[in-house]
Structure 1
Amino acid sequence: MGAWDIGPFGNDNAADFAGELDDTAPEQREDLVRAVFGTAVDEDGEFDELDAEDGDRIIAAAALVAAQCPGGTPIDTAYGPEQPLPLFGPETRRLAVTALTGVLSEDSELAELWDESDEGPAWRAEVKRLRAVLSAA
């Protein structure tokens, strides 16, 4: 796991996602974020098995959406996107909540990896905090 911090942009996959967002046309950035959330569920709305890379990207995308919500934390890291982001709508927030639930599920490789580390409880608390901010918005 290429992670150096439990924060949403504390890993290689999230930093790569930020670069991908910066390279995406402004009018397509929300679609990219929504597509990332879509990796958590299958066509029937059931949770898919999530690999660690998808989980990292979901958390990063959710942090960007949550940053626009009351109680959200601004993204202030060199590893986050540099380009402006759109104002995310309510449907994107709902998708983020669902995707974060998938990240925390027993079918998540990322959760399994974090649970094997000493930082697992702190990581879970951070993901749950993001989900709570998004749920309340």
Structure 2
Amino acid sequence: MGTWDTGHFDNDTAADFAADLDDATEAGRTELVREALLRATAAEDCLDSDEAVVAVAAAALVAEQCPGGPPVETVYGPDEPLPRFPEELRVLALRALDRVTADKSELRDLWIDADGEDGEWHRGIARLRSTLTAAISTRL
């Protein structure tokens, strides 16, 4: 995996995911995001880093649409406008982030080795989790 920074789209696989989103129809974009999140949550054994980085990128796009959500400001993210995602994707995005940061996650292990457990990548994930959790809590 070619990674050049800690941002949610700062790696080859997430940038490719953004290009796939740009190539898809509007409805297809929602399904690509949903599928990325579902693949991560469905992983029973070790979660592959490629699946994990796509799940993180998808979660970032969902979190961006939450009240107070952090904007995805990168040249490597999608260029085409995204549809308004269904609110149930917020719960799925949170579950995907939980899986990415759990044991048996190759991406988590790589970032712990590179940056420790409280490095910038982990702080970025924590910000996404916080945004999603707040958005979900206000709907209950």
TM-score by length of structure 2 reads 0.89
Q: 2:122 matched to which residue of 1?
A: 124
Identical-residue share of aligned pairs (%):
49
Residue deviations 1:77-131 (CA, integer Å, cap 9, x gap) = 1100011111112211110000000000011100001110136522112112101
Instruction: Tell me what 1:4 maps to.
Output: 4
Which deviates more, 69-78 or 14-23?
A: 69-78
Paired residues, number? 134
What does 1:15-30 align with in structure 2 at a 5 Å threshold?
Answer: 15-30=15-30
Which letter does structure 1 place at the counterpart of 2:99? G
Match of 2:131 in 1: 133
2:128 is matched by which residue type in structure 1?
L
Summarize the Cα distance change of 1:108–1:9 in structure 2 as closer, same or farther, 3 Å threshold: same
Residues in 1 aligned to 2:5 and 2:78: alpha-carbon distance in whole angstroms:
17
Structure 2: how far apart are the matches of 1:67 and 1:119?
A: 26
Q: Secondary structure at the match of 1:116?
A: helix
TM-score between the two structures when normalised by the length of structure 1: 0.91
1:96 counterpart letter in structure 2: A
Greater shift in the superposed pair: 51-60 or 118-127 = 118-127
Query: Is the CA contact 1:6–1:123 (under 8 Å) kept in the aligned structure 2?
Result: yes
Task: For 1:79 and 1:108, locate their aligned partners in 2 and report how far apart those are by CA, in whole Å.
Answer: 24
AA paired with 1:38? L
Question: 1:49: Cα distance to partner?
Answer: 2.4
Instruction: Provide runs of 4+ in structure 1 moved above 4 Å.
Output: none
Paired residue for 1:71, among 45, 68, 73? 68
Task: Name stretches of at least 5 consecutive residues in structure 1 with no aligned partner.
Answer: none
Match of 2:56 among 59, 77, 89: 59
In structure 1, distance between residues paired with 2:44 and 2:94: 13
